[in-house]
Amino acid sequence: MGADEAVADADLSALPKAHLHLHLTGGMRRSTLRELAVEHGVGLPERLVDDFPDEWHVLGWPRFQRLYDIARSVLRTPADIHRIVRERAEDEAADGSRWLELQVTPSGYATRFGDVVTATEIFCAAIAEAQQATGVGIRLVIAANRTRPPWEAELQARLAVRMASYGVVGFGLSNDERIGAPSDFAKAFRIAREAGLIAVPHAGELLGPESVADTVRVLAPKRLGHGVRAAEDPRVLAQLAAAGIACEVCPGSNVALGVFAGHEAVPGRALEAAGVPVVLAADDPLLFGAGLVEKYAAVRDVHGYDRDGLARLAAASVRHSTMPALQAEAMLRDIESWRVRRISAFTRRG
Cβ neighbours of 127 (radius 10 Å) = 27
Which residues sit opposite 168 in a β-bridge? Answer: 140
Dihedral sign of CA atoms 270, 230, 174, 325 in order: positive
Distance CA 269, CA 264 (A): 10
Within 8 A by CB and 6+ apart from 312, the residues are: 272
Burial of 280 (0-12, 13-18, 19+ CB in 10 A): buried
Judge contact between 155 and 119, C-beta under 8 A: no
Cβ neighbours of 314 (radius 10 Å) = 27
Judge contact between 195 and 218, C-beta under 8 A: no
HSE-up (13 A, CA, CB side) for residue 109:
26
Local structure of residue 195 (DSSP, 8 states): T
Question: Among all residues, which ones are annotated catalytic?
Answer: 205
**Among 23, 289, 228, CA closest to 145:** 23
C-alpha 102: how far from its chain's center? 7
